[in-house]
Amino acid sequence: MSETAPRPGEAREHDILAELQAEVARDLADERPPQGGPSYQVVAAVVVLVLGLAGAWLAYGYGLGSLRRPGPGLWPFVVSVLIAVLAAVLLAVGRHLDDAEKFTRSSLLVLAGGATFVALGVLLPVVGFEIPAALLGIVWLRFLGGESWRSTIVVSLATTAAFYVLFLYGLKIPLPHLIAF
């Protein structure tokens, strides 16, 4: 038997693998939202650019501090500026791309997620870190993600506690907070 000839059963395994790959590709194509054009890329880039700039403006209001003594707004500012820069790049090249998806009802989930994140930024200086962070987790997990109430509450509280310890004690960022240890 030559080295290029298939071994017994190898051709059948290859056929099964090809059939499975084709079936998965069909299933993914059926679930995918309708395709949009370049205008969808531009609209998405503008929305993300506005969100990035608004996030940078809010973060700057919290105080940036320095790299040795970062203020509560330093890293949100850095991330927001990075988001704005990437959105500007997408805005520049987005007119030449055609792989965007049309906006559907599920696109509203992204807007709701962004709005709740902005609400976190607005509520943080008013009521502290703990309540807005836990509420954000609850909204994202239960209402936007469809998780069960049990996992929503456990994950939201555990995540809030982890970020509380990380920001206030690990990174020594003076976030406004209600609970002090």
pLDDT band at 19 (very low <50, low <70, confident <90, very high): confident
pLDDT in tens, 83-130: 999 999 999 987 777 777 777 777 788 888 889 988 888 888 888 888
Q: Which tokens sit at 75?
A: 């890293």
Q: What phi-psi label fits residue 37: left (phi over 0), alpha (psi between -120 and 50 degrees) or beta? A: beta
Banded model confidence at residue 9, pLDDT cuts 50, 70, 90: low
* Alpha helices, DSSP H, located in the chain: 10-31, 38-62, 74-93, 107-127, 130-138, 149-164
Query: The tokens of 128 are what?
Result: 């502290």
End-to-end CA distance of the chain: 75
| Residue listed under structure tokens 């929503």 | 152
Segment 142-157, tens digit of pLDDT = 998 889 999 999 999 9
pLDDT of residue 10: 55
**pTM greater than 0.85 (yes/no):** no
Model confidence at 58: pLDDT above 80: yes
* Structure confidence at residue 173 (pLDDT): 83
